[in-house]
Copies of this chain bind each other. A is one copy, B any other.
Amino acid sequence: MKSVNIGIIGYKFMGRAHSNAWLKAPLFFDTLMQPVLKVACGRHEKDVAAFAEKWGWEEIETDWKKVIERDDIDIIDISTPQYLHYEIAIAAARAGKHIFCEKPMAMDIRQAQEMLRVCEENKVTHYLNHNYRRVPAVALAKKLIASGELGSIYHWRCAYQQDWITDPGFPLTWQLRAETAKAGPQWDLNSHCVDLAQYLIGEIREVTAMTADFITKRPLAEEQQTGNLKAGASGLGTGEVTVEDAALMMVRFSNGAVGSFEATRFANGRKNRLTFEVYGSEGSLVFNLENLNELKYYDNRGKAGMKGFATILATDESHPYVDHWWPAGHIIGYEHTFVHAAVDFLDAIATNSPVTPNFETGLETIRVLEAGLQSATERKTIFL
């Protein structure tokens, strides 16, 4: 089996999740290529060295440009915050590297367009890690919708709710500053939701949005980088939160369906709840990421009096990806979605075929998210 060498930029939360994925992909799946954890890159040498040793990255580097310059690297894994994606991706594509990029894709439409253009020009495989498409229950939802089991779609109702910053003492990390994060939950969380909506329902053609700011000043953070949604205050005073705390959107899809989105970091009790409901003429679906092995499915064509939302435990061998894991009823978790992504990405490279989501679908997502920010400012509907 052919090997591919990976260089990873970034080593925090996503660095771990990606490393684990590269390691597990060929163990549980028959990948067409063997990923090699070649070089890990980060600004703090000591930290990146510890990370590399832990996860088996063969070498380390502190300057990402040097990683890209190397001839022996086939894949650049971009696991940094979003403000660095553009520069790294452009350089990687120009160097002919395949790209496995964390979300959100970029800081604006212009960056996203350019990233896509340069990748296409250089014919590299580009993958954007909206990993929730590869939750088996979500992939099953796609299969049901695509095969017509739900009929015409009327409604998409989605929320992504977290609570990690409801404490006013939570510091001003990079996620809360516009220059590093671009926006708040609209960028971080709704990017996932819009990606799923486009995947499951289709193209969005109008957007109306509203944002809210609940806590506008916070203690300065001990350090700007946080990898695990936890951080300490530096004790050096406070600063302005420059991103929104919550973002709501209503959209209309090209196929006539309507949708709603609600992304917030202020929903106490919700740790990582991404839930969506889909209602169609023939059936309905409900999903919740905190219980990701389940998909609720209502078949409107069922027998009168016996219809109801069925809780499908998507762990059967008939379900997407699942036959590679454990027997039915033995559930999988969050990290498995990264493994599925790694497998499909490696296979796409091996077969020289595209994989989605990618910079093309990502550009569409960024377009919707930006329209949302614009709508929230201008207080009117934006037509795409």
Contact = CB atoms under 8 A, between A and B. Distances in A.
A109 interface: no
Given A292-B331, A334-B330, A260 B260 contact: yes
A217 to B, nearest CB: 15
Contact of A264 (B155, B262, B313, B332): B155
Interface residues of A, number: 95
Given A305-B316, A308-B312, A316-B304, A269 B298 contact: yes
Interface in A317-371: 317-319, 325-336
B306 A280 contact: no
Contacts of A208: 208, 210, 250, 379
A252 interface: yes
A328 B298 contact: no
Given A154-B267, A269-B283, A299-B306, 14 more contacts: A152-B214, A157-B159, A210-B381, A212-B258, A229-B328, A230-B327, A248-B258, A272-B328, A291-B291, A297-B306, A304-B316, A308-B313, A331-B333, A379-B381
Contacts of A280: 268
Interface in A6-39: 13, 17, 19-20, 23-24, 26-27
A313 B314 CA distance: 20
A170 to B, nearest CB: 13
Nearest to A304: B318
Interface of A: 13, 17, 19-20, 23-24, 26-27, 54-55, 140, 144, 152, 154-155, 157, 159, 161-162, 164, 166, 208-210, 212, 214, 228-230, 245-246, 248, 250, 252, 256, 258, 260, 262, 264, 266-273, 277, 279-284, 289-294, 296-300, 304-313, 315-319, 325-336, 379-381
Contacts of A313: 271, 290, 308
A141 to B, nearest CB: 11
Contact of A284 (B228, B269, B304, B381): B269
B308 A311 contact: yes
B279 A260 contact: no
A309 B311 CA distance: 5
20 contacts: A154-B214, A155-B262, A155-B267, A166-B300, A208-B379, A210-B258, A246-B258, A248-B258, A264-B279, A266-B279, A267-B284, A268-B282, A269-B298, A269-B300, A292-B331, A294-B308, A305-B318, A330-B333, A331-B333, A333-B336
